[in-house]
Amino acid sequence: MTTDVAILHHDYPAETRAIVDKKLQGLPRFFDGIHTLSARLEKQGAGHRVELVANVGRGPILKAEVTQGTFKGALDECVDRMRGQLSRHRGRIKLSKHRSAS
């Protein structure tokens, strides 16, 4: 899995990239077929916007986007949403394989 962290307008400190990358490294536990995972961070006025996009190969491109007042809150909620999407996708894949086997 390759990860890409894009910080728009350079509004965050340098260690932010490492924090986000560390959070992203835990996501393959929920679906191990992730090819690429990208994060975009942006300050929007007083809020923080975090967008995660996962390319899982065959199938849909999964996207989670959150805007909140704090960066940590936005990042945590966005990662939680992506976990849910990856888990649901894994379930759909297993269900599809199970149905086609019978």
Domain boundaries, the chain: 2-101
Question: How far is it, in rounded angstroms, from Cα 98 to Cα 102?
Answer: 7
What is the model's pLDDT at position 94?
A: 74
Question: How far is it, in rounded angstroms, from Cα 50 to Cα 29?
Answer: 21
Indicate the SS3 state at residue 76: helix
Token pair in block for residue 64: 């989670």
More confident residue, 77 or 46: 77
Termini Cα distance of the chain: 32
User: 64 pairs with which residues across the strands?
Assistant: 52
> Mean pLDDT throughout 17-22?
93
Confidence check: pLDDT of 21 > 70: yes
More confident residue, 11 or 29: 29
What is the model's pLDDT at position 97?
A: 66
State pTM to two decimals: 0.86
Going by pLDDT thresholds of 50, 70 and 90, the confidence category of residue 80 is very high
Q: At the fourth CATH level, which superfamily is domain 2-101?
A: Ribosome hibernation promotion factor-like (3.30.160.100)
Write out pLDDT tens, residues 49-60: 999 999 998 788
Q: Per-residue b/e over 16-26, b at no fewer than 16 CB within 10 Å?
A: eeeebeebbee
